Amino acid sequence: MIDDNNGSSTYYAPIEYIAVASDEGRSLRDILRKRIGISRRLMVKLKTSDEGLSVNGQKVWPNHPISEGDVIRLRMETEISETILPQPIDLDIVFEDDHLLVLNKPAGIIVHPTTGHYLNTLANGVTHYWQERGERIRFRPVHRLDENTSGLVIIAKHPLAQQQLSAQMMEGTVVKEYRTFVYGRPPESEGEINAPIGRQTEDPHRRVVREDGAPSQTFYKVSASYLDQASAIDIRLGTGRTHQIRVHMTSIGCPIIGDGYYSEDKWTNSDLAARLSGSIQRQALHAFRLGFDHPVTGEAMILEAALPEDMLKLESELRMIER
């Protein structure tokens, strides 16, 4: 973070762009939108900020003409999450720079506070972490994981990073890969599930495959099979619906081990379920890999998080089936 000369306000680290030959004669507004991807909303914030926009060190307006070699600088004012209470929580940081933070979320913790659940969330821990470092940053999760799903979560540190990463999510260019362990074995060793997902009429919190649901796409590949009683599966998401993997795996007769909400009686009451009950106390689902373009530098990023202990224990127990 950067203080201004009076120390009265703070700014995120400046973002710079050097104009190239094809930018000659274009307006600053045009460059910001088409080269950097600034939204109209963020443009307004930058324009009204004292030092939001400058060219070669001079404050300018969005209609300012640009010449080759001009140094365009953006300085976004910091914001804080006033409604999120700081709370010390152990964080497994996989990557961090001035623009984003990527965490390996443990199972049993939700990402953001909800009604009646104001503490013990990822947001509380991250807010405390930044506060301890003297940083004024608003908590901006780009996506979320279910409470009992572990793995990688991206948090943007400023509006531009959030805007760029959210756009990648919407365009489907972010690679999201999961490892899960399921009962049974899918009909094919590798396949695609295209089945619309919507709310269940009787229980609006529960999702089901239904004709009038939202289009949903899941790609899977069986990486190991345990005498056809269970399988280890790698999954890549084509869309990101609520509970998508859990619903889709159940829809093909392979509910996730440990997932009591979307399981089936024939598996829940099976001898195998009883045998595995001591290995894992939640759905065996872990977001182990994320691939995306850095929201500011454009660098291709691939980040990974190893399987947590409970899933390693489950995997070890499943391997015993074959002996």
- Catalytic residue IDs: 146
Gap between the Cα atoms of 268 and 273, Å rounded:
6
Contact (CB, 8 A) for 267 and 277? no
Query: For the residues of 105-147, what is the DSSP string, one character each?
Result: EPTT-BSS-BTTB-SSBHHHHHHHHHHHTT-----EESS---T
- CB within 8 Å of 28: residues ≥ 6 apart: 53, 55, 60, 61, 62, 63, 64, 65, 66, 72
Amino acid at site 27:
S
The Cα-based distances of 69 to 52, 137, 193, 199, 321 in angstroms read 20, 32, 50, 54, 66
Long-range CB contacts (within 8 A, 24+) of 191-196 = 191/219, 191/220, 192/217, 192/218, 192/219, 192/220, 192/238, 193/217, 193/218, 193/219, 193/220, 193/248, 193/251, 193/252, 195/248, 195/251
Residues 77, 11: contact at Cβ < 8 Å?
yes
Burial (CB count within 10 angstroms: exposed 0-12, middle 13-18, buried 19+), residue 303: middle
Q: Strands across the sheet with 53-55, in order? A: 15-18, 71-74, 53-55, 58-59
Tell me whether residue 259 is exposed, middle or buried, using C-beta atoms within 10 angstroms of its C-beta: 0 to 12, 13 to 18, 19 or more.
buried
